[in-house]
Structure 1
């Protein structure tokens, strides 16, 4: 049994879903493990991680629009230290989560045919996001 730890820095363009599957899979391949379990952890409270369809761009657009409706920018929030998108970003992160766990089978992430790994940026301006990676296996 071996384990590997690493960090990925992801530059976002602002609000929206950014597919990071290739970056994550590339890091996993560099570790040389065949079977195991990958944990990805987003070290932020205003960005999150999701696994979602990566074939139809309409899925991403619909998801982004849905989160705009359920956690809109609104002056009713008490917390607005970093602007009107601050509290909605925290709500969206709470609804989606900051951690993913993905099996590694025969050297590849066990994602389904249409599944991709996404960093979901919830703030309007671009950010550099930090992801912690932990792979354990053989």
Structure 2
């Protein structure tokens, strides 16, 4: 059987504050529409220089802990050479080096094969850009 490739771009509104946005439901819906019970790979990619994709537990404080850790590692102050935008915006451009803008995940029998507490999340610390795109691609 030949492999198939399907992709869909979704729009996410992250709001005007730093956020960890859970994409798991959108990934599950996409796979329900396109995977048709196949094994394969789901690639999640955000085409932005100031956002990333992470796997983590949400709702139990880990999402807030991640944002706190990023604040410690990448403070929003005037140390950054990249100066346009909100104060400290230069740190947003360093974020994808720590939280990459992509993740490739296994799909088994058409279902996302995540661990019990794992969620697929968009990590966005850039308060200047509230509209984000995420590209979901299935290879099966």
| 8 Å CA contact 2:82, 2:90 repeated in 1 | yes
Deviation at 1:53, TM superposition (A): 1.2
| 8 Å CA contact 1:93, 1:122 repeated in 2 | no
| Corresponding position of 1:52 | 56
Q: What does 1:1-138 correspond to in 2, within 5 Å?
A: 1-13=3-15, 14-33=17-36, 34-56=38-60, 58-125=61-128, 127-137=130-140
| 8 Å CA contact 2:35, 2:138 repeated in 1 | no
Deviation at 1:43, TM superposition (A): 0.3
Q: What is the RMSD computed on CA atoms of the aligned residues?
A: 1.4
Q: Deviations over 1:63-118 (max 9, x none)?
A: 11110111001112121112223211112221110010001101100101100011
Q: For 1:67 and 1:48, how far apart are their aligned partners in 2? A: 12
TM normalised by structure 2 equals 0.90
Compared with structure 1, are the counterparts of its residues 105 and 92 closer, same or farther at alpha carbon in structure 2 (3 Å cutoff)?
Answer: same
Runs of 4+ that moved beyond 6 A = none
Deviation at 1:126, TM superposition (A): 5.3
* Count of matched residue positions in the alignment of Structure 1 and Structure 2: 136
Q: For 1:85 and 1:48, how far apart are their aligned partners in 2? A: 17
Q: For 2:91 and 2:31, how far apart are their aligned partners in 1? A: 32
More strand per residue: 1 or 2?
1
